[in-house]
Copies of this chain bind each other. A is one copy, B any other.
């Protein structure tokens, strides 16, 4: 039953609009207990010549990339150890916080730090949650389980993890990681 109308300068593509349609629907559902089918979103695009603020025309900025996809690509690049690709997705001031490690700022640091800990690791995803924070960054949470090999060659799998990413202007600026590796190792 709630109806949302968005007036926005033209220039957004179908995928941007789909994301707007979903995000606006979910914003209403966050407060109003209406079933999704009862929530309508209408996007009204304005040609530049039809929109004035302060007596002057304004032009719209291109849409931000989907932060969920950005994080997905970043994690895939890291799993493939494609550091140049992964680095290209990082923004100024990037920091990583892994369990039991000091904050790191370079991906090579991470590789070096991980070397004595596991030979390799792959991620099975259970879910991604993404949202705009109150502040500048968009947030992406990604969780699931880790599989891989310990340094001595034994395989492991099913170890729970969760990552929290901050994305600013289409670049990853912070990654926080929690997992049960120590829990599992401690038991082993």
- Interface flags, A26-47, vs B, CB<8A=1, else 0: 1111111111111111111110
| Overall SS of chain A's interface | mixed
CB of A104, distance to nearest CB on chain B (Å): 15
Q: Is A150 an interface residue (CB 8 A)?
A: no
Q: A2-B6, A6-B4, A54-B37 are in contact. Are A64 and B31 (CB under 8 A)?
A: yes
CA distance A39 to B14 in the complex (A): 21
Give the residues in chain B near A176, CB-CB below 8 Å.
143, 160, 162
Give the residues in chain B near A14, CB-CB below 8 Å.
49
CA distance A143 to B178 in the complex (A): 11
In which size bucket is the chain A interface? 35 or more
Contact A29 B132 (CB under 8 A): yes
* Contact residue among B2, B63, B129, B161 (Cβ-Cβ distance under 8 Å from A139): B129
Given contacts A12-B31, A41-B52, A161-B178, 18 further A-B pairs with CB under 8 A are A1-B8, A3-B3, A4-B7, A7-B42, A14-B49, A18-B52, A20-B32, A24-B24, A24-B27, A30-B130, A31-B63, A33-B61, A33-B62, A34-B61, A35-B54, A42-B46, A100-B184, A182-B183
